[in-house]
């Protein structure tokens, strides 16, 4: 009898991460992972299966439906796995609004709910919907589930979620939602395993990748976060500006004649590390570049992150644990060092050698705050949600 499998799809605006999991009595165990990179020329499927790595150029062209791309990817996966044994597919869906407080099975009702939230996440939600519909067309009857990035933050109070604008807009959905929830859910679970009695106590988690945000956790529950209504808010990112005075946007439109579309393009795709440096959106490139502009871009990045840690510590009424996660947070000691050096006043003391070795704990023994590095796994959270919904 063949082993039952699960697939997970974690869609970004320009790529899709695919997880291949074995469904076992104790849960889902990853056995492979892939990536469809829509920026690559030609379109490429990247698959990692244990120690083996495969890069496959795809013949299919990207269109609004993605049917041809997924059909080719599934054909290729079938050479390595028994796709007839796939019992379900789980998706990361960026926005759940106030409709979804937990993962759900996808049916006509939930799909309509996801589609109704497109205006809240216009860059990501359509990609999520395209994948769900493409799989439904290719594998009719296959169970699909949705895990929402915003759902983890539903434990935040209305005081945290409100903007200081007329109250009726809150009831119309204009509020702070927060994102990267699947990553924070994984880290919260890891902290519960590492520190079962406190789950890290009052913890600030810095999810630092191409997209970046921070979250304040109290015993594993979200209490505040840096991203608000959209994925632009909070700290600077690879190409996104982070928090910005709305007056700047009015000025660009009124005084300089930029259209709303041009401003949107600027703050999503031309700002952040790329805009500050004028060189690259990749912090690794900037760390290796001695120019004034590269150094200044990194200084702004780490300055804003440290400031957000302090703000979130105030939301929690103190700080017991600081966690770095995601690509930059897990792998770039220089970025972590620059952030922590700005937070000595909160009692964070860095073990420089442990930090340089990317160890799991990088704080000194006398540090009032434990500093951890935890590798996140959003696909594992999606797979675990999928298993729960199947049971």
Together in a domain, 18 and 84: yes
Average pLDDT over residues 112-117: 96
Q: Per-residue pLDDT for 60 more than 90?
A: no
Together in a domain, 9 and 93: yes
Phi-psi region of 277 (alpha: psi -120 to 50; beta: other; left: phi over 0): alpha
Would you place residue 368 in the very low, low, confident or very high pLDDT band (cuts 50, 70, 90)?
Answer: very high
Together in a domain, 96 and 214: no
Together in a domain, 200 and 144: no
Q: Per-residue pLDDT for 251 more than 80?
A: yes
Q: Per-residue pLDDT for 327 more than 60?
A: yes
Together in a domain, 349 and 224: yes
Look up the pTM and report it: 0.94
| Residue 360 domain flag | yes
Q: Per-residue pLDDT for 382 more than 60?
A: yes
Domain region containing 290? 196-373
Together in a domain, 300 and 220: yes
Strand partners, 145: 90, 105
Together in a domain, 97 and 228: no
pLDDT of residue 42: 78
Query: In terms of pLDDT, which residue wins out, 57 or 280?
Result: 280
Q: Per-residue pLDDT for 1 more than 60?
A: no
Average pLDDT over residues 135-151: 94
pLDDT digits (tens, 9 = 90+) for 257-306: 999 999 999 999 999 999 999 999 999 999 999 999 999 999 999 999 99
Together in a domain, 134 and 203: no
Q: Per-residue pLDDT for 141 more than 50?
A: yes
What angle (nearest 5°) sits at the alpha carbon of residue 170, between those of residues 13 and 234? Answer: 45
Q: Which of the residues 68, 84, 149, 245 is marked catalytic?
A: 149
| Residue 329 domain flag | yes
pLDDT of residue 65: 60
pLDDT of residue 121: 87
Query: In terms of pLDDT, which residue wins out, 124 or 325?
Result: 325
d(CA 199, CA 185): 12
Together in a domain, 317 and 256: yes
Percentage of residues of the chain with pLDDT beyond 70 = 98
| Residue 384 domain flag | no
Q: Per-residue pLDDT for 14 more than 80?
A: no
What value does the CA radius of gyration of the chain take, rounded to a whole number of Å?
A: 21
| Residue 55 domain flag | yes
Average pLDDT, the chain: 93
We report the CATH number of the domain holding residue 51 as 3.30.420.40
Q: Per-residue pLDDT for 169 more than 90?
A: yes
pLDDT of residue 64: 62
pLDDT of residue 330: 98
Percentage of residues of the chain with pLDDT beyond 90 = 79
Together in a domain, 294 and 366: yes
| Residue 164 domain flag | no
d(CA 263, CA 247): 12
| Residue 94 domain flag | yes
Domains held by the chain: number = 2
Average pLDDT over residues 184-205: 97
pLDDT of residue 13: 62
pLDDT digits (tens, 9 = 90+) for 88-110: 999 999 999 999 999 999 999 99
Average pLDDT over residues 119-148: 91
Together in a domain, 329 and 203: yes
| Residue 389 domain flag | no
Select from 17, 14, 4 the least CA-distant residue to 381. 17
Together in a domain, 223 and 341: yes
- Chain position carrying tokens 């296959």: 142
Would you place residue 237 in the very low, low, confident or very high pLDDT band (cuts 50, 70, 90)?
Answer: very high
d(CA 335, CA 356): 11
DSSP alpha helices (H): ranges in the chain? 67-77, 108-115, 125-138, 158-161, 168-171, 181-194, 246-254, 260-269, 272-277, 283-287, 292-316, 326-331, 333-341, 352-356, 378-390
Would you place residue 67 in the very low, low, confident or very high pLDDT band (cuts 50, 70, 90)?
Answer: confident
| Residue 177 domain flag | no
Average pLDDT over residues 236-262: 97
Helix (H, G, I), strand (E, B) or coil at 74: helix
Q: Give yes or no: 149 in active site.
A: yes
């Amino acid at each position: 009898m063949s082993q039952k499998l699960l697939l997970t799809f974690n869609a970004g605006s320009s790529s899709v991460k695919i997880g291949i999991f074995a469904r076992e009595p104790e849960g889902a165990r990853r056995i492979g992972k892939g990536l469809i990179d829509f920026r690559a020329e030609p379109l490429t499927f990247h698959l990692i299966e244990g120690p083996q790595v495969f890069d496959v150029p795809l013949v299919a062209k990207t269109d609004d439906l993605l049917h041809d791309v997924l059909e080719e990817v599934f054909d290729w996966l079938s050479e390595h796995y028994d796709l007839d044994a796939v019992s379900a597919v789980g998706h990361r869906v960026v926005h759940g609004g106030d409709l979804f407080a937990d993962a759900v099975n996808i049916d006509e009702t939930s799909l309509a709910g996801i589609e109704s939230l497109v205006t809240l996440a216009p860059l990501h939600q359509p990609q999520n919907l395209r994948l769900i519909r493409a799989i439904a067309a290719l594998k009719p009857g296959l169970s699909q589930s949705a895990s929402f990035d915003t759902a983890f933050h539903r434990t935040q109070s209305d005081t945290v979620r409100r903007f200081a604008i007329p109250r009726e807009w809150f009831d119309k959905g204009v509020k702070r939602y927060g994102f990267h929830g699947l990553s924070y859910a994984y880290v919260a679970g890891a902290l519960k395993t590492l520190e079962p009695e406190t789950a890290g106590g009052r913890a600030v988690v810095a999810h630092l990748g191409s997209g970046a945000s921070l979250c304040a956790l109290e015993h594993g529950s979200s209490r505040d976060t840096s991203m608000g209504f959209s994925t632009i808010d909070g700290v600077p990112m690879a190409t996104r500006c982070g928090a910005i005075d709305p007056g700047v946007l009015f000025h660009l439109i009124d005084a300089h004649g930029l259209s709303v579309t041009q401003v949107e393009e600027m703050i999503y795709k031309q700002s952040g590390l790329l805009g500050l440096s004028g060189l690259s959106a990749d912090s690794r490139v900037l760390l290796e570049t001695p120019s004034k502009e590269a150094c200044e871009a990194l200084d702004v990045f780490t300055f804003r992150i440290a400031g957000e840690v302090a703000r979130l510590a105030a939301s929690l009424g103190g700080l017991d644990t600081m966690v770095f996660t995601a690509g930059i947070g897990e792998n770039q000691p220089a970025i972590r060092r620059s952030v922590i050096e700005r937070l000595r006043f909160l009692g964070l003391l860095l073990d420089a050698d442990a930090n340089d070795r990317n160890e799991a704990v990088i704080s000194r023994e006398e540090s009032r705050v434990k500093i951890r590095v935890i590798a996140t796994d959003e696909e594992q959270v999606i797979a675990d949600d999928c298993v729960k919904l199947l049971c």
